[in-house]
Structure formats: C-alpha cells, structure tokens
Amino acid sequence: MLTSTHWGVYDVAVKDGMITAVTPFDRDPDPSPIGQSLPGAVQGPLRVRHPAVRKSYLDNGPGAARHKRGAEPFVNVSWNEAIDLVAAELKRVTTQFGNSAVFAGSYGWSSAGRFHHAQSQVHRFMNCLGGYVAHVGTYSLGAARTLLPRILMDMDVMRSQQTAWVSLEQHCELLVAFGGVPSKNSQVNSGGISQHEVRPMLKRLAAAGVKFVNVSPLRQDFEEAPGALWVPARPNTDTAFMLGLAHTIIADGKHDRAFLARYCTDFEPFRKYVMGETDGVAKSAQWAAELCDVPADTITTLAHRMTASRTMINVAWALQRGDHGEQPYWMGVTLACLLGQIGTPGGGFALAYGPVGIEGANARPFSGPVLPQGQNGVKTPIPVARITDMLENPGGHYDFDGKACTYPDIRLIYWAGGNPFHHHQDLNRLLRAWRSKPETIIVNEQYWNPNAKYADIVLPATTMMERDDIGSSNRDRHIIAMKRAIDPVAESRSDYDIFTALSERLGTKEKFTEGRSAAAWLRHLYEASAVRARKFDIDLPSFEAFWSEGLIEVPPPLEPSVMMRKFREDPLANKLPTPSGKIEITSPTIAAFNYDDCPGHPVWFAPAEWLGSPLAKRFPLHLMSHQPSTRLHSQYDHGSVSLASKIQGREAMTLHPQDAASRGIKSGDVVRVYNDRGACLAGVKIDDGVRPGVAVLPTGAWFDPLDPTQNDSLEKHGNPNVLTLDKGTSKLTQGCSAHTTLVEVELFKGELPPITAFDLPVFASRS
C-alpha cells in the first residue's frame, strides 16, 4: 500500500502488524533515501505511547514549577483524565483571560496527508472555540511573504505560475543562481512529492546548452549543475553583488528602458541610488567586490553575459533568512527588470528553484483536498519568528508591515505538529521564556522529541502509517490514497480524534466535526476538490474509484508555465495586485512607512553580523545553518538515515581545510562551536567546497543540553539554533535572521558527554 510523506511516496510492506520495509514509488525518477528512516522509527522506542503530564503540573496545577520543564519526570495518565485536564485548562484560560491568551502556534510539516494535517486540525479546533493568537509567515519565507505583495504579488500565487523547467530547457541560455539550486532541499515538499525531478532536469538543461553560475559561499549549493561556475561571495552580501551588476548594466546603457517604462514604476529613484547620485556612493562593481570579497571583473563579466543571454535569475529562499532579508529578493526582481526578460520563456526570475522539490514542475496549480480551518476570532497574529519576543514582552510594541502592533499576554500554548526547539533562533533565550511565561504548554506529539520533553501535557498522536488520508500537494502530479498500514501504536490517537474528544467536553463538537467521522471527511474533502479540479480542466474519478485504485495521475498543462507571461503580453488587461498594477521597483507604500531599516527601494545594509563587521575579529566564521540532507528539519532525526550521518553521535559541521588546519582540527574530530549566545558540540567534515571563513552546520539535531536543569547549558548534539541571531529581518517583514550569525570553533578536549537526545524522559508514579 502507498503512503505519502514530505520527502516522497513509498510502498509500505507490513508483516504481522509491523512495518518491515518501504520501497520508493516506481514513478519517481530520483527518490529520496529519507523514507528509509520510517520502519525503525514509527514503531520504535521513542514513540509517545500514553498521555503524560509533567509531575509538578499534575500535582499542583497550571504554572507549577515552570522552571523544571524539560528536567523532571512525567506521569502517565488515562485518556479520560488527560482530556479533562486539557479541556478544563482551555476553558479556564479563555474564560479568565480571553482567547488572545492562547497561542496555538503549530508550525511544521507533521503530515503530508491533507486531512490529518496537525496544523490544520489544531487551528480548526481553536477557531471553533473562539480563536487564538496565530502566526503569520514562515521561518522559510518570512521576509518574502511580507515584501512580495507590496511590490509584485502574493508569494503563493507567484509560485503557482513559476516558469517550468522544460521552458528553461528549451529557451534559457544562462541560469544565475544566488544561493544555488541545492538538490538536497529538493528532496522535500510541503504536502508531499511523488516525483523528484530537480537533479534529472539540471542534467537535461546542461545537455541543452544552458550555462550555470552559482553565487554562494557553498559549491554544493549547485553541485548537481554540470560545469557550474562557482562565485564564492561572502554570506549576506548578495544584495551588494546584485547592485554591482545593476550599476554595470546601467552604466553600459544595457538596461531595458522600454520594459522599465511599461511594466515598472519609479525606476528613477533606484537608478540615482545605484549611480551614487543620492548618497555620493556609486554601487559599482568595485564597490560590490570589496563587500563580497570577489574580483570586480567577475561581477562586470557576469553582467555582460546576463545582458547578452536569455537569463533566468534564481534567488534562493535562504537569502531572505538573514538580516534585511527582504533586500536580496527585492533586488533580484529589480535586476530581472533591468534585463527586461520577465514573462519570456526561459527568462526572468524565480524565487526560487530548489528550496523544495515541486518548484519548476510542469504541472497544473491544483492542490487537491483542503481541510477548512474556519474563521479566527482573534485578529492579532504575530510574525512566526517573533515567538520569544512575544513571550518576553507581553504588551510590548513592535512595527510590522506598516502597522504598530502589540504583543499579547500568552498564558497557554497548544502545539500540534512542529518542533520549536528546532525552528526557532537563539534557543537559550527561547528556553528561558518557555520556562517562565506560559502557565500551560500542551502538545500533540508522535515522538519524545524536545517539543514533548519541554511540555506540561503530552498527548500521543498517530503517524501517517496509522490512519487513512489523502496525499496531495499543489502542483504535484499524483493524488495518493494513503491507506492505514498498521494499527495505532499503543494508546496513540489521531489529532482529529483528540480534538473531537476535547470539543465534546467544551461544547463545540458539532461545529468541529460537522457530524462527520474521519472517513466521512475524506470523502467530503475529496468530492469538494473534484469540483475545484474542473476549474483546472481536471476530471477526477469517483471517490470509490480513487480509493480502490490507490492513486490518480493529474495530466500536465497543455503548455509549460511561463511566469508573468500574461502580464507581459498585456499589462493593462493583466494588472498586478500592487497599487500601481505594475512591478514596484520603488514602493511609495513602503517608503511612507518611514522605516529606517527598509526604505522605498532596494538598498544595501550591512548585516548585524557578517565577515565585514568588527565582531568578526572575535568570531571569525560565518555560520550557515541550512536544511539537512538526511531528514526534513528535525523530523526523524532519530531515524536510521539521519543517525548514520552523525560524527561521534553529533551533527556534522563542514569547514574549509584552511580554517580547520589553523585551529588544529581534522576530519572526524568533535569541536565546540560558540558565540555570545551559546555553544554546541559538532563533528567535523572538511571540504574545499566551502568558502574560507564559513562554517556549515545543518539544522534539525534534536536539542540536547548538557545539564537540562539549567538554562544556557552546552548543547552537545549539534543544534545550530543555540547560536543563531533572533532578530527580525526588518520592521517591514520581521522574518527570521538565522543566516546572520558569527561563531568561533575550537577543538573539544576532554571526555565527550553522551548524547541523551534520544533517551526517553523519566517516568514517575503519582504522589
């Protein structure tokens, strides 16, 4: 039977009620190995098997001994008692403090199934209860999602029409990738992916004569592109690099004046800035070269190649995960406007190819079934990357996207899906707030990961293997009937069953369930999606036929997508949803906000931490904390594929040979990585494909402090987010700035502490 995951579709083999193997989908040309972690993990020892409550909380009620979260035993309780506890606490908090005292901040890709999707389930449940403080944006795209509607269009709308790889194969001559097109990232996709095509398509592009340029500190960011030119610029200097290209293009008179006049607004203020007429500093190739630490003629030569070729500019998601992260995106769009190729086959820009596997697929923008979440009665969401600020500063003020906002006073957190001790920055700061502010933390969780260990009440949730569901994602070419492979492990329940039980206690069951069982919901959602499918010229079979067959193949579009083709053909009939209806190189709206860290057009700002700053004398390595190749974020870090990649049990950090040698470090050593925010241990790999002065430590190692009773303890497993900067990208976007981080590395001496991330918590009997 088939199941869908965020890293692929697999055929699941079961014997005597146990998963024995998963085999990649036979239609997948480049399957991900991550799925091989499933058999050992799903029924392994780390499953949450019973409802559990932190002992002090069980004995003394909400708010008891909050400082002991993560450092004291749990007590197993019955489902009936657990549901009573959670329902009573939700009622207490919402009655005494209002629904704005509840943060239901689910974040993460907990399931590729469209019904049993934890984030949708918890949001629907809370909306039926009157609402909750939600988050807006994502860690992956916080800056982009806020900026792009102001200057172009909604991010998801833009992604749905991204130029297909086959169009590049037929028409593109030069693909310039800022941040590369990392194939390891393309293993995954929110909602699932049935066919991995990025690596095969890059080979096809090369065979068709497309040339590649990788502007990135990491050669591996474009290692699958045959013959790619690597330009190892300093991290966080992409905006300066693009400004140097723009200056060369404008100075040479090669900018497309007709395109700028017809399709864009207010080019002149930007031109004056680039040419130095505004501030007396010309943003020339030489100016950019000094910031980026690359030769000036590399920039000028590339600018000449771009104007002489059908050029696609790719700007990776990673670039906007740094201080002033909106600037490289704004600048990438502006650079494409200068070339005038937006809306042409094989030309323009992409934001981006490579961060997930579906980008560039030759597929219809159809998403399949979607669970309605209802309307949130609380209208004050926070930017997702500002969780610690919210907990530390109830009633505090901050600016966001032109609005003056106030942080709520959070008394209760309900988390279902995701792991804040992976996603968030400056984890030591988050832990202090986590242990001091909320009175109650409740999680639905499958495994005893840090999210569970630092909670008060833990409710055991099923995995995708233990329930029926429908796997489908926007632009994927298959819809999968995900049939239950095994019975629920121990006492685990689906999120739907958990929230149904809670709704019954709280008087919202009819509103939450609409009188449907999980099976009835699957049929209902599928049939609703069949109606929507007709708008895309897709005829879906009956639910019975789909469930019997096991999958549906969605036909590709008649013509490959070319982003903004219609806008280029007739910008008056196909106006963009911006105030001007055009691409806003200069945005009067943003300019009117008067933000000192984000004016009305793209500019260069020096990041808070970078290799050109005075702080680099103390911490001379720029830390890149990117997506791992052996798991999705922190999911299945305890699985066989992820564990096999560890070095002496720790996450592997990659250093340039020069940086390793100067510190007396060799491959296979364990090092201490540190700055003023914290320290962690990591294993070492040495690779000359990393720019000197850069250290690479993937995210997702389960948070594992040396002394769990203390804050600010040494993290011994290799979680880079004890080091990363927790600062909003700007007042406009308030995104994640994780890629703006300086560190130092030293050889760890002495006895290595054991890894305890994969140990179960201690369990106690009740008092």
Please report which confidence band the pLDDT of residue 105 belongs to, taking 50, 70 and 90 as the band edges: confident
Contact 189, 356 (CB under 8 A): yes
Q: pLDDT above 70 covers what percent of the chain?
A: 100
Contact 216, 177 (CB under 8 A): yes
Give the model's pLDDT for residue 162.
96
E strand or H helix at 304: helix 296-307
Please report which confidence band the pLDDT of residue 110 belongs to, taking 50, 70 and 90 as the band edges: confident
Closest CA to 456 of 64, 53, 163: 53
Mean pLDDT for 77-100 is: 98
- The pLDDT tens digits of the residues spanning 306-328 come to 999 999 999 999 999 999 999 99
Give the model's pLDDT for residue 109.
79
Mean pLDDT for 451-477 is: 96
Residue 107 falls in the annotated catalytic set: yes
Q: pLDDT above 90 covers what percent of the chain?
A: 96
Report how far apart, in Å, the C-alpha atoms of 424 and of each of 121, 356, 664, 735 are. Answer: 22, 20, 32, 11
**Torsion over CA: 691, 204, 627, 19 (sign):** negative
Which residues partner with 715 through β-bridges?
680, 705
Closest CA to 666 of 687, 691, 695: 687
- The pLDDT tens digits of the residues spanning 664-694 come to 999 999 999 999 999 999 999 999 999 999 9
Task: Give yes or no for residue 368 having a pLDDT over 90.
Answer: no
- The pLDDT tens digits of the residues spanning 175-201 come to 999 999 999 999 999 889 999 999 999
Please report which confidence band the pLDDT of residue 721 belongs to, taking 50, 70 and 90 as the band edges: very high
Task: Give yes or no for residue 108 having a pLDDT over 80.
Answer: no
Give the model's pLDDT for residue 236.
98
- The pLDDT tens digits of the residues spanning 726-751 come to 999 999 999 999 999 999 999 999 99
Please report which confidence band the pLDDT of residue 160 belongs to, taking 50, 70 and 90 as the band edges: very high
Q: Spot the catalytic one: 7, 10, 57, 109.
A: 109
Size of the chain in residues: 767
Residue 10 falls in the annotated catalytic set: no
Q: Spot the catalytic one: 7, 10, 57, 107.
A: 107
Mean pLDDT for 437-454 is: 97
Q: How far apart are CA 346 and CA 405, in angstroms?
A: 42
E strand or H helix at 374: none
Closest CA to 665 of 650, 644, 687: 687
Please report which confidence band the pLDDT of residue 161 belongs to, taking 50, 70 and 90 as the band edges: very high
Give the model's pLDDT for residue 224.
85
E strand or H helix at 564: none
Q: pTM for the complete prediction?
A: 0.97
**Contacts for 704-711: CB closer than 8 Å, 24+ residues apart:** 704/450, 704/755, 704/756, 704/757, 706/753, 708/70, 708/71, 709/68, 709/71, 711/428, 711/431, 711/432, 711/435
